[in-house]
C-alpha cells in the first residue's frame, strides 16, 4: 500500500506509517496538475490545508481508498466527490483545540494592549508611550460565536482574566452554558452587547459573511473583533470600512478570505493585528494531528477499521454494506430536518420500525446526529465525535424500536424537540436502496431527498404554485420536481420544489413576499 503525503507533517507521523509496512512518499508543494498526474499511484493521501483535493483530483485517483486531513478543517477536500467514489475522508478533530484557543487569547490581549504596534515602534527607535494606550479586559463582555471545543476553552480562559462571557451557538442549550458560567443569547443580542467578539464556527453557506456591514452597524461603538476560525466569515470590505470610521476600534485576524491575502487593504491600518493562519501552529498540535492521522490511515489500510471519518461510520468493513443504505437515508433525513429547523435543540429522537430495527443501530443514529449538526458545525463533526458534540450541547438522544413498519419493510422517523416545538421527518428505502422522505411533520408527501430544494409552508389556496413557477421561470431557474402535502383543503400546506441551480437570497426574499406563502427554506442535499 502506498501513501502520498502532500503537505508537511511531523516526522513522527511518517514514522508510524512506515513502521506499519506502508510505502510513504513525501511530495509537498505539488501543483494541481502535478498532483492529478501522481495521485493514481497511491492508496492514501495525507494533507493539511495547502493541498486542494478537488473533484478533478479525485476523478484521477483510481486506487485511492482514503484521504486523511492532519487537522479538523476540510474545506479543501471535496467530500461529496470522495464519497461517490467510496473514498473515506478522515480528519483529526480536537488536536488543535488548545493551541487555537490559546492563540485567540493571545490575539485578544495583543489587540487590547496594542503590543505588536508598540513592538514595531520601539524597534524603529521610537519611545511612543502615550500613543499606545490600551484597554482593560477585566469586567468587559466577550461574545463567543460558536461554542464548541475551542469556544468553550476560550470561555474558560476569559473567565480567568475576569471577563463576562456570552455565547451564541444554534445547538447550545441554557443549562449547559449556565454550568460553564456563560449566558446563551441570540446572535443579534451578542452583536449589540459585546465589547469583544471572537468567532469559532466553520465556514459554511450559513456562516459566510456572517459578520457583514449590517451586523457591524448594530455593534457597540468601539467594539473589537477576533477571527481565528475561517476567512470569509467576516466581510473584509465591511470590516475595513468600520475600522476606518472607528465603529470597530480594532481587529485581530489569523484567517482571511484569500490566503495568502496579497495586497489586503486591512494591512494598511494601524488598528489591525494579524498573523498568517497560526491558530494550529504549535509544535504540540502539529505533532498530535500528525500522529493521529497516521494511526487512522494505518487502522484503515492495514486492519480495515474506519476511525474519525466524516463520510463513513466507524465500523468494520464487512458490516458497512448492510448499513450503508440506511446511513445514507438517515444522513439525508437529518440534514433536511436541520436545514428546515430554527432554534436550539433539547432532544433528538430516532424511531426504527420494521427490519431495520434488527440491525446495529448505533452507526445509523450517529449518522442522524452528524447530519443534524453538520450544517452549522461542518468542519468539526464526524462519525466519532457527533454523539460527544450533542452531549456537549446538552442534547438528549433517544432510540425507539418497533417491529411494525406498516406497509413498508423498514421505516425511520427523526424528531427534533426544542421546548414545546417539534419537527419530524419519516423516510423509507425504495427498493431497499433509494432514499425517500414520505412525511414531513404532519404532511404526507413523497420526496427524493437530493440536490437543491425549496421547502415552503403556505396556505392551500389557488395560485401559490403558479406564482412560484412564474417567479422561478422569470429568473431562469428550472424546476426538476414538485411535491405537495396538505392538512385539509384550504388549510396549511407544504410545497417542496426541487430546482437545478441554487437560488440567490434576493429571489428567496421575493418568494417570501408572494401571497399565501408563510415561510420558505432553501435546502441543499447531496446528489
Active-site annotation, residues: 230, 259, 277
316: number of Cβ within 10 Å: 10
Is the Cβ–Cβ distance between 168 and 184 less than 8 Å? yes
Is the Cβ–Cβ distance between 89 and 79 less than 8 Å? yes
In this structure, is the dihedral angle defined by the CA atoms of residues 473, 476, 481 and 484, taken in order, positive or negative?
negative
What residues form DSSP beta bridges with 157?
Answer: none
Is the Cβ–Cβ distance between 424 and 443 less than 8 Å? no
The conformation of residue 268, written as its DSSP 8-state character, comes to G
Kind and range of the H or E element at 521? Answer: strand 517-525
Is the Cβ–Cβ distance between 295 and 13 less than 8 Å? no
Query: Burial of 346 by CB count in 10 Å (0-12 exposed, 13-18 middle, 19+ buried)?
Result: middle
- Cα–Cα distance for residue pair 410/353, rounded to 1 Å: 6
Residue carrying the nine cell digits 475551542: 150
Provide φ and ψ at 88, rounded to 5°.
-75, 135
In this structure, is the dihedral angle defined by the CA atoms of residues 47, 51, 53 and 58, taken in order, positive or negative?
negative
Is the Cβ–Cβ distance between 5 and 46 less than 8 Å? yes
The grid cell for 416 is: 427534533
Is the Cβ–Cβ distance between 306 and 300 less than 8 Å? yes
Helices (H) and strands (E) in the chain, counts: 17, 22
DSSP per-residue codes, 131-184? TT-----TTPEEEEE--SHHHHHHHHHHHHHT-EEEEE-TT--HHHHHHTT-EE
The grid cell for 69 is: 486531513
The grid cell for 381 is: 463533526
Amino acid at each position: 500500500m502506498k501513501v502520498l503525503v502532500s503537505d508537511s507533517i511531523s516526522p513522527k507521523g511518517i514514522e508510524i506509517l512506515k513502521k506499519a509496512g506502508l510505502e510513504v512518499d513525501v511530495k509537498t508543494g505539488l501543483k494541481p496538475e502535478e498532483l492529478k498526474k501522481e495521485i493514481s499511484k497511491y492508496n492514501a493521501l495525507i494533507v493539511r490545508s495547502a493541498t486542494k483535493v478537488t473533484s478533478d483530483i479525485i476523478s484521477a485517483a483510481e486506487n485511492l481508498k482514503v484521504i486523511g486531513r492532519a487537522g479538523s478543517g476540510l474545506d479543501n477536500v471535496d467530500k461529496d466527490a470522495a464519497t461517490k467514489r467510496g473514498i473515506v475522508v478522515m480528519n483529526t478533530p480536537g488536536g488543535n483545540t488548545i493551541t487555537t484557543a490559546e492563540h485567540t487569547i493571545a490575539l485578544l490581549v495583543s489587540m487590547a494592549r496594542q503590543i505588536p504596534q508598540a513592538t514595531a515602534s520601539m524597534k524603529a527607535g521610537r519611545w511612543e508611550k502615550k500613543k499606545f494606550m490600551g484597554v482593560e479586559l477585566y469586567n468587559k463582555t466577550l461574545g463567543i460565536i460558536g461554542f464548541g471545543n475551542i469556544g468553550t476553552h476560550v470561555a474558560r480562559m476569559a473567565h480567568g482574566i475576569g471577563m463576562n462571557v456570552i455565547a451564541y451557538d444554534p445547538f447550545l442549550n441554557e443549562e449547559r452554558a449556565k454550568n460553564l458560567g456563560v449566558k446563551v443569547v441570540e446572535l443579534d443580542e451578542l452583536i449589540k452587547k459585546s465589547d469583544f467578539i471572537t468567532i469559532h464556527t466553520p465556514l459554511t453557506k450559513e456562516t459566510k459573511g456572517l459578520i457583514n456591514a449590517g451586523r457591524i452597524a448594530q455593534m457597540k461603538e468601539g467594539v473589537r473583533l477576533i477571527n481565528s476560525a475561517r476567512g470569509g466569515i467576516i466581510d473584509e470590505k465591511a470590516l475595513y470600512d468600520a475600522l476606518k470610521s472607528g465603529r470597530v476600534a480594532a481587529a485581530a485576524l489569523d484567517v482571511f478570505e484569500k490566503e495568502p491575502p496579497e495586497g489586503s487593504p486591512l494591512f494598511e491600518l494601524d488598528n489591525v493585528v494579524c498573523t498568517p493562519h497560526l491558530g494550529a501552529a504549535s509544535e504540540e498540535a502539529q505533532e498530535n494531528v500528525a500522529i493521529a492521522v497516521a494511526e487512522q490511515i494505518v487502522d484503515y489500510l492495514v486492519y480495515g477499521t474506519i476511525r474519525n471519518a466524516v463520510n463513513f461510520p466507524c465500523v468494520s468493513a464487512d458490516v458497512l454494506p448492510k448499513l450503508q443504505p440506511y446511513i445514507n437515508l438517515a444522513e439525508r433525513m437529518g440534514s433536511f430536518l436541520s436545514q428546515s429547523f430554527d432554534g436550539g435543540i433539547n432532544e433528538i429522537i430516532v424511531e426504527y420500525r420494521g427490519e431495520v430495527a434488527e440491525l446495529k443501530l448505533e452507526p445509523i443514529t450517529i449518522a442522524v446526529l452528524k447530519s443534524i449538526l453538520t450544517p452549522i458545525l461542518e468542519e468539526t463533526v464526524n462519525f466519532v465525535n457527533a454523539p460527544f458534540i450533542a452531549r456537549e450541547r446538552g442534547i438528549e438522544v433517544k432510540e425507539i424500536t418497533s417491529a411494525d413498519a406498516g406497509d413498508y419493510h423498514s421505516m425511520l422517523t427523526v424528531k427534533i424537540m426544542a421546548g414545546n416545538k417539534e419537527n419530524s421527518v419519516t423516510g423509507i428505502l425504495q427498493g431497499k436502496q433509494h432514499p425517500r422522505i414520505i412525511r414531513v411533520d404532519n404532511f404526507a408527501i413523497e420526496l427524493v431527498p437530493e440536490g437543491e430544494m425549496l421547502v415552503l409552508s403556505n396556505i392551500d389556496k389557488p395560485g401559490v404554485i403558479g406564482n412560484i413557477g412564474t417567479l422561478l421561470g422569470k429568473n431562469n431557474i428550472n424546476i426538476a420536481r414538485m411535491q405537495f402535502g396538505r392538512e385539509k383543503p384550504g388549510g396549511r400546506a407544504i410545497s417542496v420544489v426541487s430546482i437545478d441551480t441554487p437560488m440567490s437570497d434576493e429571489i428567496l426574499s421575493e418568494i417570501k413576499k408572494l401571497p399565501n406563502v408563510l415561510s420558505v427554506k432553501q435546502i441543499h442535499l447531496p446528489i
